[in-house]
A and B are shown apart, each in its own frame.
Chain A
Amino acid sequence: QVQLVQSGAEVKKPGASVKVSCKASGYLFTNFGINWVRQAPGQGLEWVAWINTYYGHTSYSPKMQGRVTVTTDTPTTTVYMELRNLRSDDTAIYYCAKDQWFEKSPPDFWGPGTLVTVSS
């Protein structure tokens, strides 16, 4: 069965960086992209980024472009999201979500989320 296992909660200071991982299993990893979506406390869902796990193509939210990088490691079937120059409003749960098909796809399965807290 499909599984997305995310790394544990992080507490960071403003200006620091964080790298969250999402390890996929139960399906052919390079056949489906991975999205990153975040949710600030009490707020709605915000799309952050997407990566094509076969070619490594990426797309980022313009709001976060320049501070976020998503990478993929095929041998370990793991996708990473790095967010730099953290601010207090980056405090959120970060979800990875598997695409339903190869490209231009909605997610069909979500990871449990990783809480990132940014506080001085």
Chain B
Amino acid sequence: DIQMTQSPASLSASVGDRVTITCRASQDISNSLAWFQQKPGEAPKSLIYDASFLLSGVPSNFSGSGSGTDFTLTILSLQPADFATYYCQQYKSFPYTFGQGTKLEI
């Protein structure tokens, strides 16, 4: 199985800050990497696919980059609605696997 390691596990930031979350795969997954946002009590929301493409309706202050084994999710100018837990997932091969999550707190 491909292991996905996210860092940091938690992150404190303020409105207006720029934050970066990293995700590392245990083997080359090309660009088969997605990012999700989850708020307490809600289902996850898909944000980014193929490492860097935003789904329709996702604010442009979100961006993704990377290829191979190392990936980043960057949020420019944090908004109050951005405080949530973020997960990466690889879909290069089954079983698809998630990172352990990064909790972004005020």
Q: Which chain A residues have a beta carbon within 8 Å of chain B's beta carbons? A: 35, 37, 44-47, 50, 59-62, 95, 97, 100, 104-113
Assembly CA distance A62 to B93 (angstroms): 13
Known: A45-B36, A45-B101, A47-B89. A110 touches B46 (CB 8 A): yes
State which of B49, B91, B92, B100 has its C-beta within 8 Å of the C-beta of A44: B100
Extra pairs beyond A44-B101, A45-B89, A45-B98 (11, CB < 8 Å): A44-B100, A45-B44, A45-B87, A47-B89, A100-B49, A100-B55, A108-B46, A108-B49, A108-B55, A109-B46, A110-B46
Q: Which chain B residues have a beta carbon within 8 Å of chain A's beta carbons? A: 1, 32, 34, 36, 38, 43-46, 49, 55, 87, 89, 91-92, 94-101
- Summarize B's interface: helix, strand, loop or mixed: loop
- Summarize A's interface: helix, strand, loop or mixed: strand
Residue from A46, A95, A107, A113 with most neighbouring chain B CB atoms (10 Å): A107
Assembly CA distance A45 to B4 (angstroms): 12
Inter-chain contacts of B96 with A (CB < 8 A): 35, 47, 50
Inter-chain contacts of B100 with A (CB < 8 A): 44
Closest 8 CB pairs of A and B: A106-B34, A59-B94, A110-B43, A44-B101, A47-B96, A45-B98, A106-B49, A108-B46
Inter-chain contacts of A50 with B (CB < 8 A): 94, 96
Assembly CA distance A47 to B4 (angstroms): 12
**Smallest beta-carbon distance B78→chain A, Å:** 22
State which of A35, A47, A107 has its C-beta within 8 Å of the C-beta of B97: A47
- Identify the closest chain B residue to A99 (Cβ): B91
Assembly CA distance A113 to B41 (angstroms): 10
Assembly CA distance A59 to B95 (angstroms): 7
- Identify the closest chain A residue to B93 (Cβ): A104
**Smallest beta-carbon distance A78→chain B, Å:** 18
Assembly CA distance A95 to B38 (angstroms): 13
